[in-house]
A and B are shown apart, each in its own frame.
Chain A
Amino acid sequence: MTKELLKGNIAFAEAAVRAGVDAYFGYPITPQTEALEYLSHRMPALGRAFVQAESELGAINMVYGAACTGRRTMTSSSSPGVSLMMEGLSYIAGTEIPMVLVDVMRGGPGLGNIAPAQSDYKHIVHGGGHGDYYPIVLAPANIQETIDLTYGAFELAEKYRSIVVILIDGSIGQMMEPAELPPMKPRKKQFPEWATDGCEGRPARFLTSISLDPPKQEITNLRILKRWQEARANEVICKEYFMEDARYAVVGFGTAGRVALSAVRTARAEGIPVGLVRPVSLHPFPEEVMKRLSKTLDGMLVVEMNNGQMLDDVLVYTKESLPISFIGRPGGVIPMAEEIYSSIQQLVNNPPPIGSSPRDRWFAKVCKEKGL
């Protein structure tokens, strides 16, 4: 297989096609619209369903309908659009049916801007919609990973009857890199025993998220949690770079993670024993990795393109038992490798006291720098 130079938005769209997606519904929003444009001709050419919906509300509920038929279904959007989809996502989770969402994050809150950001970590990873539910959230950092994770997302969603979110940012959506596309999977011909696709030769079925009897709803929520516990045990992905002999680790996902890779390389060249830990599955979070590192390392630096949303999870699993620093660039700003490198130097030369709030220290510094 040869590599092609692929743009992120096209890459995940084609990866979904090759994974056998039967239906795509979406609404234009920068910086992910190329996916919608691409699928608007690619899907009909293959005899598959495509609709440009009247809104993200429309799109997610078209996904809901199509997912009820047991067919492979997806949508993609960007932060403000995903906020609109939260209603449908909660209903889909409550109905316990699989779907795939690609969120190409941009700067927020509000209309914000169209620049790359990691603004949606909390509302994607920790729910967003109402009720107890647990999406599987995967955060690739380059085009090849975006393809590979999207390609596997449908089976993952089906295995756990869960929402799978591919969480990337505008830079991954817009960039081009050489990557290999996987082979075209045949479309599914067998459909699950819960699918409402016409009751020919079998008893009628219904799918709903309503359960007026609280003890029944309680069982539903516990069943959702049970599947989640299985995913938590089996689906963790975390990449480590230069960690064999590392005394320090930078922790960052997606684009923040790959920028940190450049900083780590610079630090290594200067003889600093630092590595990079890049969570690829944000949910399930690499809890065990964090626990292990918190016992063995001398310090940790968390890097994000937000005000420290994943940071809170890192703090939970490390129990703040080692010096931890944070550097964030919110609002659509990509951090530069130099600023991460200088934070690594700070951490090593001047480790903060254990248990002192990494966000507070970072914010105090930012306030001074920006005159806030």
Chain B
Amino acid sequence: MQTEIIIAGFGGQGVLFAGQLLAYTAMEEGLDVTWYPSYGPEMRGGTANCTVIIADEEIGAPMVSRPTACIAMNLPSLDKYENMVKPDGVLIVDSSMVDRPLKREDIKSVAIPGSKLAEELGNKRMSNMILLGALIANLPAVISLEAFERSLKEHLPERHMHLLEANLTALEKGATFIAV
């Protein structure tokens, strides 16, 4: 049993950290996990993505051409990954960063105005938490929201601890978006 998740967006949107939180959660649930980032010469502002593979056996390829799920936090990421998601897979899109409708009919697509909602919750940079909440809620067999919250409390950097409650709220807000 293996689940592959790609999280993609602009550098600075918290793409890599979101993937790390998934990896921590999987590890703490006793699963095998590989977190593999795009890494490039750009330090700021470029595109960023990471692949998180969660499995109950030794993980092979660290990258996949057909992920189970994808979070697209901007238009280039949506354009790149929408067609790659496996049939019956999950696509979570920050619709406040994207100006086109979603195309796939054979996957569970969820469009959430993540950045807008995060701004309403007090910090635009929490859009990654909203989208993660939706991802976890739409992949119920992989990791639970409770397990994720436990690892968020454990691994949110000290300097951001004052935002823990707001992050948890963002996560739960995202989890209410279930694909129909």
Contacts and interface: CB of A to CB of B under 8 A. Distances in A.
A249 B20 CA distance: 34
Contacts of A316: none
A114 B39 contact: yes
B148 interface: no
Contacts of B23: 5, 176, 178
Interface stretch (B54-62, B67-75, B94-102, B116-124): B54-62
Interface in A17-45: 30-31
Interface residues of B, number: 21
B156 to A, nearest CB: 14
A166 interface: no
Interface residues of A, number: 26
B164 to A, nearest CB: 19
B37 interface: yes
B26 to A, nearest CB: 8
A177 B59 CA distance: 10
B37 A174 contact: yes
Interface stretch (B28-36, B106-114, B167-175): B28-36
Contacts of B41: 30, 114
Best-buried of B34, B58, B59, B60 by chain A (most CB within 10 Å):
B60
A337 B64 contact: yes
Given A175-B34, A177-B35, A258 B62 contact: yes
A336 B65 contact: yes
Contact of A262 (B24, B36, B39, B61): B61
Contact of B60 (A5, A178, A258): A258
A336 B60 CA distance: 11
B63 A178 contact: no
Contacts of A171: 36, 62-63
Given A171-B36, A178-B33, 6 more contacts: A142-B58, A175-B62, A255-B62, A263-B60, A334-B61, A334-B62
17 contacts: A3-B27, A114-B39, A174-B37, A175-B34, A175-B37, A176-B34, A177-B32, A177-B33, A177-B59, A178-B23, A178-B32, A178-B33, A255-B62, A261-B61, A262-B61, A263-B60, A334-B63
